[in-house]
Structure formats: structure tokens, C-alpha cells
Chains A and B, each alone.
Chain A
Amino acid sequence: MLYTYLIEPFADFAFMRRALVACLALSVAGSSIGVFLILRRMSLMGDALAHALLPGAALGFLLGGLSLPAMSFGGFVAGIATAMVSGAIARFTSIREDASFAAAYLTSLALGVLIVSLRGSAIDLMNILFGAILAVDNQALILIVGTATVTLVGLAAIYRPLVVECFNPGFLAAMGVRGALYHALFLGLAVLNMVAAFQALGTLMALGLMLLPAVASSFWAREVWSMTLIAVPMAFLSGAIGLLLSFHAGLPSGPVIVLVASAFFLGSLIFGARSSVRSRLSRPVHLRG
């Protein structure tokens, strides 16, 4: 009974297995990136960045059709370019970085939809915007798992400077360390993860598996490493549960996965150990000293 519902879909169908592995890789790398995105107060900027992949991916689509390497490469270039241009605009003008990201994202979204509709059908557009995790093939899987590996190694390498850059950038500068360099490396890793997530979840929801578990984990943990340790399994469970739900109910998998992640977020928001609704509403007990 339990076997029929939980295991059989993966045992019987290779596309479900590939989707599950893709979820695992996306969860491990993506939620670690997500934790840093929220700690840097960049969650909305991250979202904007993910949307900014669209025109690049669309150009790749225009030149190479629905080919993953072309679209991924285009998306990566577009993401990095947006991050750099927004950073430069924020540095050289008085517009704040969030405003310039918002401007860049609206422009890219419009441009991307326009480019796709030049050649593709509405279904192609849907695939690019919302992804198709069940269509992940071996090539895409290698891209996703490779990205996860690079991300984990990269994050481990820049972990300490990045933490200090978030927490007290002036200190890092006084130590003679160029915080901007680590910020740029981090943005590069973030874009890489969005590109990897894009095939599975589409440009509009690529950030779902990265951010929602990370935000949820902040209701449970109080240090960067413990937040990550909580966010990763939450993201993977969202992926696995989402895949099963979508399989049994015949629903599109991307949105279901993101909705399960949202359920984790809502649950944490209500029942979490710290600054949750529960701790706000519970009878005010205070310690003796």
C-alpha cells in the first residue's frame, strides 16, 4: 500500500527517478545559496535575477531550438550581465540596487517573452517560464548535479569572507579584504544555480526550491550552518512529496513542488521554534532570571 504510493512511481518510471535526483541536487546546492540570499536581504533581488535569465534563454531557444546547452548558456550570460549591470548602475548612480534590479527584471521578462513568441508556440513559452522537471534527461541531470558540486565546493571556499561580508562589511574592508569580490563570486554561484533550476522549474519558479526552504529554516535555527542543515532536507522533501503528489493527482509537477515548499514555509511560520506565530501567541512565559 505504502509501497504503491511512495516507491512504485520511482521504481517504475525512469523520468520520475531522474526528477528525484534532480530535486536532490537542486535542494542541496540551491538551499545553501538561498540561506545566503535571505541573509543578504537579497531574496527579491534573487527573484529578479532568475527572471532576468529569460531573454538569454529565449535567445538560445531562438538560435538552437529547445536545446538545453544553448538555452542554459544564454541564461547564464544574461543572468551574469544583469547582475553586473545592476551592480554598476547602483554604484555609479544614486538608484538603489533593489530598484535597478527591478528595472532590469521587468525589461528582461518582457524581452524574453517577446523573443520566445517570435518563433515558439505557447507550449514552448510555458516550458521556459514554468519548466518541465519530468522532462529532465541525462544531459540536464549532469548539468544540474555538476552545478550542485561546483556550488558546494565554491561556497565552502568563500564561506567565511561571505559570512563576514553579510554581517559586518566594514570589518572585512578594514582587514584589507575586497568584499565586493566575494559578493560577485556569490552572485555567480547564484546565477549558476538558477540556470540549473531553470530547466526543472522554469525561470518564474527557479527560486522556489532555493528560497522557500531557506526562509522556513530561519524559523528554526540561529546560525548559518544550522539553517542550511535544516533547509536542505526541507527542500528535498518538498521535491519528493511534490513529485509524488503531481504523479498521483496528474498535476503539473513544478508548481506542486513549489507549493509543497510553501507549505513547509507556512508550517514553519506557524509552528517554528523562534519568532513564529506560535511563539508570538503562546502564553507569555518568561524565565526566572
Chain B
Amino acid sequence: MAAAPALKLVDLTVSYDRHPAVHHVSAEIPAAEMTAIVGPNGAGKSSLLKALLGLAPRIEGRIECSARRIAYLPQQAEVDRSFPISVLDTVLLGRWARFGGFGKASKTDIHDAQHAIESVGLGGFERRPIDTLSVGQFQRVLFARLLLQDADLVLLDEPFAAIDAKTVADLMDVIRRWQAEQRTVVAVLHDLDQVRRDFPNALLLARELVDAGPTARVLSAENLLRARAMAEAWDEHAGACEVSAPAPMKLSA
């Protein structure tokens, strides 16, 4: 890793109700590359993303982030898909940073939104309400919104859960384009074959860091076995962890 990392986690702990979801993790995520976050269910992958966004309720340790703008793809369960809103309006939200809660979307914004909708293969869907879309189509909409955010760090939380192969292939093209544009991509993924195939870097998490680095090394059989054993441990009577100094957190550089 020659270049400066996009993200540096220093002794990061994220906890809910005193139980750590992410425990003393220190790692670096390289800039302008694609990194997969892998681990069993409950390993703290989503919590880690939330912490990176500054949305986790309690964190200790430090996150150093050199990105100016961060875009985030939520798990679909976090979005009310029955809400009466059109595809175009949803995608336009990607420009929130420009017009905020009160400004007007410019012609350029609308033009860019249409372009983004076409480039994820949903041309002609602009006025459709989102509750008529399939899971895969809706994921394309969210990707179009990410395209509009023009971020240098893109965080994807399970982008391919319950998505068919064709859509995965199309969306992977979008992700590769981001990487070609020197954007950093971090994705939480479950399909290890896909990670081995498409993501050069991986971070294996089981509440604690198992390993981070080149995918081939991180996803060894031995590491995966260790991750599973660590994730299953849950000690109700564990003593409190020694914390050196609860340093206040600041996300943006």
C-alpha cells in the first residue's frame, strides 16, 4: 500500500448497550481501491459502516478519514419501499449536498439524475413510484442515487443481498467504474466467491479484526474458521474493557 489510506481505524470499538459490536479494531483501508468487509452475521460489519458514517451511538477509538464526501448504500430493510415517491425524486436526493432541504434542483441536477437512471439500466422508469419496483430494480435506483452523490468514498452495506445475477453483474460494472475514477469502495459482502473474484482487498471481521489485506491471504480457510468461532462467543459476564482515553471522535478530515 503505497498511497495514503482512505480510512484508518485506530483501536475502534462500537458498542450497543455495553456489548461491543466491533471490538478494538485497527486497520487501514487503501484509497482508490475496492475493499470487501467480510464476516459472519453479527460480526459488526454494518456497525463498522455506521461508525464510519458517524451514525453509531457510541464509539471509542479513532477513525481517520481523508475522504471529502462519503456516499452510503443502506441495507434495503432501512428504506420504506412502500413510500409514495418516484424513481426520479429518489435519485435526485443524491444531490442533497448541493440543494439541501430547501434549495431547488437545477436543470443540471435533473439531467444528471436522468443520466444516472439510464446508466443503471432503468431508462424510462423516471416517473414510476418505487413501490412498483422489484428488489433488484430498487437496488439499481439506490445505485443511481450513489452515482449522483459524486463521493470519493462509497460505502455499500450488503449491496447484493437477494439480487439476481444479471443485476449483480450490472452493478459490479458501476462499482468498477467508480474504482477506475479513483474512488474508494468499501462493501459489506457475504458471497466469498465474489469477493475473491472482484475485490482485491478484504477485511475479515468477527467483532474483532481477524485479518485485513490482500483477499487471497485474508480469506484463508484457517482465518474463516477462526472468524466463525470468535463470532459465536458471547460472554454475559465479561468484565469491562480497559480504555486508555475516550478520545472524542471526528469523522471528516
Interface residues of A (CB under 8 A from B): 39, 157-158, 160-161, 163-164, 166-171, 173-175, 177, 218, 221-224, 227
Complex contact B79–A175 (CB within 8 A)? no
A288 to B131, CA, bound (A): 20
Known: A170-B55, A175-B96. 7 other contacts (CB 8 A): A164-B96, A167-B79, A167-B80, A167-B83, A171-B96, A223-B129, A224-B85
A10 to B86, CA, bound (A): 42
In the bound complex, residues from chain B placing their C-beta under 8 Å from that of A157 are: 102
Complex contact A223–B74 (CB within 8 A)? no
Complex contact B80–A175 (CB within 8 A)? no
Complex contact A160–B80 (CB within 8 A)? no
Chain B interface extent, by class: 20 to 34
Complex contact B96–A221 (CB within 8 A)? no
In the bound complex, residues from chain A placing their C-beta under 8 Å from that of B79 are: 167-168, 170
Complex contact B53–A166 (CB within 8 A)? no
In the bound complex, residues from chain A placing their C-beta under 8 Å from that of B102 are: 157, 160
CB distance from B147 to the nearest CB of A (A): 15
Contact of B101 among A174, A177, A218, A222 (CB under 8 A): A177
A174 to B72, CA, bound (A): 7
Provide a sorted-by-A list of 26 A–B residue pairs whose CB atoms are within 8 angstroms.
A39-B83, A39-B84, A157-B102, A158-B101, A161-B101, A163-B85, A167-B79, A167-B80, A167-B90, A168-B80, A169-B78, A170-B55, A170-B72, A170-B78, A170-B79, A171-B93, A173-B53, A173-B55, A174-B55, A177-B101, A221-B84, A222-B129, A223-B84, A223-B85, A224-B84, A227-B84
What 0/1 readout, one digit per residue, does chain B (63-88) give for beta carbons within 8 Å of chain A? Answer: 00000001010100011100111100
- Contacts A39-B83, A157-B102, A160-B102; A168 near B55 (Cβ below 8 A): no
A160 to B104, CA, bound (A): 11
The DSSP consensus for interface residues of chain A is: helix
A222 to B83, CA, bound (A): 9
In the bound complex, residues from chain B placing their C-beta under 8 Å from that of A171 are: 72, 74, 93, 96
Complex contact A174–B70 (CB within 8 A)? yes
Centre residue among A158, A170, A218 by max chain B CB count within 10 A: A170
In the bound complex, residues from chain B placing their C-beta under 8 Å from that of A161 are: 101
In the bound complex, residues from chain B placing their C-beta under 8 Å from that of A222 are: 84, 129, 131
Count A/B pairs, Cβ under 8 Å: 53
Q: Is B221 an interface residue (CB 8 A)?
A: no
In the bound complex, residues from chain B placing their C-beta under 8 Å from that of A170 are: 55, 72, 74, 78-79
In the bound complex, residues from chain A placing their C-beta under 8 Å from that of B93 are: 164, 168, 171
Centre residue among A160, A161, A166, A227 by max chain B CB count within 10 A: A160
A171 to B90, CA, bound (A): 11
CB distance from B48 to the nearest CB of A (A): 15
In the bound complex, residues from chain B placing their C-beta under 8 Å from that of A168 are: 74, 78-80, 93
In the bound complex, residues from chain A placing their C-beta under 8 Å from that of B129 are: 222-223
Q: Is B97 an interface residue (CB 8 A)?
A: yes
Complex contact A175–B85 (CB within 8 A)? no
CB distance from A189 to the nearest CB of B (A): 16
CB distance from B94 to the nearest CB of A (A): 9
A164 to B83, CA, bound (A): 10
In the bound complex, residues from chain B placing their C-beta under 8 Å from that of A39 are: 83-84
What 0/1 readout, one digit per residue, does chain B (91-127) give for beta carbons within 8 Å of chain A? Answer: 0010011000110000000000000000000000000
CB distance from A154 to the nearest CB of B (A): 13
In the bound complex, residues from chain B placing their C-beta under 8 Å from that of A223 are: 84-86, 129
In the complex, which residue of chain A has the Cβ closest to the Cβ of B70?
A174
In the bound complex, residues from chain B placing their C-beta under 8 Å from that of A224 are: 84-85
From 35 to 74 in chain B, residues with beta carbon under 8 angstroms from any chain A beta carbon are 53, 55, 70, 72, 74
A175 to B70, CA, bound (A): 9
A161 to B83, CA, bound (A): 14
